[in-house]
A and B are shown apart, each in its own frame.
Chain A
């Protein structure tokens, strides 16, 4: 009965075509129904039925995202069929669905071996394709000898696929290099264009990973570069030379000529021409004629109507921009024109180029142009523009900014661009400039005030970070404010309830600073002789502008009290605590204010409290070095690196793009932390006399001194003058740089203010790339193969050692290669053939990588 059932299934099985037709009628239920059928059919013994079921399943998996991992075993079954039609379906399914983790992977090794040895070239080709796609470490190891045999096959179809497979095999099993490398290299001289194309493709990929190992093959590549007429092969060879030339300058000189020749050719393919240009820009940019020719050619791309060429032209310019800005400046009209292109990708490239041209002379002009574009662009591009203005301007501690007042007002303008979503970065820069550039604080407070008093801005959540920076700046630098009352009013306006609690806390705290400052000014105005109070106000030099009368101060106090009393019941503890702190302080001080107006007694309780509070806020906040964390000594017994290796792999993707924002959030959390410290001190301040708490503070700072890099800066400055770089006076005056700018230069009316720079680590550090051990072992194997040394772990170790020496001392390489030159006449292959013993001896003397002298 069972057999007749299966017969019915086989006879009336839906073919792939039936399945596709059914799918076109209606999808969702049909798929699940078909899947049920497939599950039944695939278990039958008849291989034809099984393979059709598998084919249907791979169709559903490829186009409808159906999972087919469960059918892995059946795929192996189908592959074992003797029929080509079945095999083809099976191998296709395997290539499509297997991963390194597929459990039945072990089962296919023998089948693959059998098919690789098959006399039918199409079967061999199927197995090779499959291996190229799914090869694991084990498969690569077990099948290396088969691949080696096929590399010498007389059938072009098989041989070129075997060449393609080598890439995967080398990657998974570096020892295969010892076996296969020689044959692979031999194919470089093949006259068959298919084979040549395949082998050059393999070397192109290999070279991209580890150029140094392939330097000895340069003569072979050079020959292809000169002789080949195939664009695709030439493009690959150019890619190889781009890598090689960047580590061996002499090669660049040699290659420049043939590359120029290709560029000069009439009717050269655009793809090849572009590759030539890119190669010149990226690796041969020191060759003057080549560079000039490439720049001339790129101009043709830029003015072409084809959007592809325009895009690529701009893209190529951005490669050359860092080293040869003149190439961009020569084409600046085309770049500016591209800013209004309809293609967003073209616009983006143009934007990057425009910002690459920025220097301290034209930054104002370019920013002006860009801000105009930002106002009329779509939200996405608008934010790209804002971002690309912010980044270069802040680079290297605002290197290109001379006029900080202008820059701060630009930041203020950005906040008002309707689509602006870059609040985080603007916030960071506002605070950063505040802490670093003393002379810019007046303008900072002005810009902040404008932002704070505008109730409309409170409705835009993207601006919250900017507003929090503005609030912080207005509080911290309140002495520059024309009207503290207005600031306090803005900080406590009713619409602030729209803000998130964390930012609201900053608002309240800033209001506190304003209050303390105002009270201080009020008391000191009453007693100009009182020394401790006068200190801060006179040092700032601005505070006396706003004289506080009894009326004004009491209306300020009342306003703050009124604004805060509703907050003392807020759910958020941060807001509540701050509000209560201030209310408590006001309660304590209120009657003193009234007394002050009448009596002249300077030693009142309130007076002392105010003086103390002013003390708390008087310490100036400075920038924090990004290496601050590293200066904290590692507590004993704390293992930071243990068992977290794997985590890096996972986190890298997440961390890398956030590197910038990380930095800014550091800053913010720092200031918040500092505020907290102050809060603690405020809390204790109302009761004990100032002396005790300031000694507490001193102790605290002694214990955690490392965190206070910035504020210690002034003392440190005297201590270690050797390695610090606190001022930026070494910048050349603006007029000395005579790079073309968009408009005639403006005379800079005022000198560039001092920007505080920390000695090191102002820029976020880049994580060193952890290259995988597999790559290393591959390059080691290749170097061994190229040296013609057979086996032996010790030798390999030697090479590693030599490798290090080599990096240190490149001149030695040249010497040794010259010596080497005498020994070999016909490239590496002859040297490989030379007796192993002799080479073994030599190996201890010579370096592993021989730089060929290109005797061509």
Chain B
């Protein structure tokens, strides 16, 4: 498993990455006129997706109301579009009247869906910011870290975005908050893990 950050170039440059299979199916990025079934969200980011190169979903966070069925459809549609895009292309895809900004870090694609008039470059920066925080937290993060600690990735994301709005711009603060929360959990776990506690529960 390659480390995510090791491949991440500060200038947000994708060109050094290994190329993906080029394909003709760049479909629905053109089909703007297709109806959009999304209800509008409150913030500027509608959802966050992490998809592996093989198309496995690693994280989903929805800030606009979608039903479970719509969610699966969106994931299928978007990963089809994004995974098929070549490495030297731009990081934005128009989709159902929205923009999806994605960036590949090693084997993972980080995607965020925003309104058409939102700032794409800013979202690229937010994605990078998120990856940096993950990297700091896990210590050179890789896909496996996110697979086994998917909930941690969520908690970190929650410190970064609330209601789809960017919340926190300092990496340090996020790290501090998350570790404080972790400590609370650990303390409780030790107590709960003790045999006497289990016996007390059972009797």
Residues of chain A whose beta carbon lies under 8 Å from any beta carbon of chain B:
3-4, 7, 10-11, 16-17, 20, 24, 46, 48, 55, 59, 61-65, 67, 69, 83-85, 88-89, 92, 96, 99-100, 122, 125, 128-129, 132-133, 157, 160-161, 164-165, 167-168, 171, 193-194, 197-198, 201-202, 204-205, 230-232, 235, 239, 269-271, 274-275, 278, 306-308, 310-312, 342-346, 348, 378, 380-381, 384, 653-654, 656-657
Contacts and interface: CB of A to CB of B under 8 A. Distances in A.
Nearest to A348: B30
Interface of B: 12-13, 24, 26-27, 29-30, 33-37, 42-44, 56-60, 62-63, 65, 67-68, 71-72, 75, 86, 88-94, 117, 119-122, 124-125, 147-148, 150-151, 154-155, 158, 162-163, 165-170, 173, 177, 180-181, 184-185, 188-189, 192, 198, 201-202
A308 B165 contact: no
Contacts of A380: 26-27, 30
A664 to B, nearest CB: 15
B169 A194 contact: yes
Contacts of B117: 239, 278
Given A157-B177, A656-B35, A10 B201 contact: yes
Contacts of A168: 42, 163
B150 A164 contact: no
Which interface residue of B67, B72, B91, B163 has the most chain A CB atoms within 10 A? B163
Contact of B154 (A92, A269, A270): A92
A198 B167 contact: yes
Contact of B165 (A55, A67, A128, A202): A202
B45 to A, nearest CB: 11
A7 B121 contact: no
A164 B162 contact: yes
B43 A20 contact: no
A17 B29 contact: no
Nearest to B36: A653
Nearest to A157: B177
A770 to B, nearest CB: 14
22 contacts: A3-B202, A7-B201, A62-B60, A65-B75, A85-B185, A122-B180, A125-B177, A157-B173, A160-B167, A161-B162, A168-B163, A193-B169, A232-B125, A235-B122, A271-B119, A278-B119, A307-B91, A308-B121, A311-B90, A311-B92, A343-B86, A344-B29
A262 B43 CA distance: 26
A688 B56 CA distance: 75
Given A96-B62, A132-B42, A270-B121, 5 more contacts: A63-B59, A157-B173, A197-B169, A308-B92, A342-B88
A307 B88 contact: yes
A122 B198 CA distance: 27
B42 A167 contact: yes
A92 B184 contact: no
B201 A653 contact: no
A576 to B, nearest CB: 38
Contacts of A46: 201
Nearest to A82: B188
Contacts of B168: 160, 194, 197
A197 B166 contact: yes
Interface of B is mostly: mixed
Contacts of A205: 42-44, 165
Contact of A653 (B35, B86, B125, B150): B35
B150 A63 contact: yes
Contacts of B42: 132, 167-168, 171, 205
Nearest to A162: B162
B150 A59 contact: yes
Contacts of B30: 344, 348, 380-381, 384
Contacts of A61: 68
A321 to B, nearest CB: 16
B165 A167 contact: yes
Contacts of A167: 42-43, 163, 165
A99 B26 CA distance: 33
Contact of B162 (A3, A128, A171): A128
Contacts of B155: 88, 92
Given A7-B202, A167-B165, A345-B93, A275 B170 contact: no
A48 B197 CA distance: 11
Nearest to A91: B158
A164 B163 contact: yes
Nearest to A86: B188
Contacts of A160: 167-168
Which interface residue of A55, A92, A657 has the most chain B CB atoms within 10 A? A657
Contact of A132 (B56, B93, B163): B163
B166 A165 contact: no
B165 A198 contact: yes
Sort A-B residue pairs by CB-CB distance and give the 4 closest, nearest first: A271-B121, A653-B35, A164-B162, A132-B163
A100 B65 contact: yes
A780 B144 CA distance: 50
Given A165-B162, A271-B122, A10 B60 contact: no
Which interface residue of A4, A100, A271 has the most chain B CB atoms within 10 A? A271
B35 A345 contact: no
Nearest to B154: A92
A51 to B, nearest CB: 10
Contact of A344 (B26, B34, B88): B26
Contacts of B180: 122
A91 to B, nearest CB: 9
Nearest to B13: A306
Contacts of B26: 344, 380
Given A164-B165, A205-B44, A312 B120 contact: yes
Contact of A63 (B12, B60, B162, B198): B60
B191 to A, nearest CB: 9
A345 B94 contact: yes
Nearest to A45: B201
Contacts of B94: 345
B201 to A, nearest CB: 6
A656 B148 CA distance: 44
Contact of B151 (A16, A193, A201, A274): A16
A161 B43 CA distance: 13
Nearest to B199: A7
Contacts of B71: 65
A63 B57 contact: yes
A308 B151 contact: no
A519 to B, nearest CB: 47
Contacts of A278: 117, 119
Given A92-B151, A164-B163, A308 B91 contact: yes
Nearest to A120: B184
Which interface residue of B124, B189, B201 has the most chain A CB atoms within 10 A? B201
B158 A129 contact: yes
A69 B35 CA distance: 27
A55 B152 CA distance: 12
A129 B157 CA distance: 11
Contacts of B119: 235, 239, 271, 274-275, 278
A64 B59 CA distance: 10
Nearest to B94: A345
Contacts of B93: 345
A300 to B, nearest CB: 14
Which interface residue of A167, A171, A269, A654 has the most chain B CB atoms within 10 A? A167
Given A92-B151, A157-B177, A65 B89 contact: no
A271 B127 CA distance: 13
A194 B201 contact: no
A239 B192 CA distance: 50
B76 to A, nearest CB: 10
Contacts of A344: 26, 29-30, 89
Contacts of A129: 158, 162
B188 A83 contact: yes
Contacts of B189: 85
B29 to A, nearest CB: 6
Contacts of A342: 86, 88-89
A498 B150 CA distance: 56
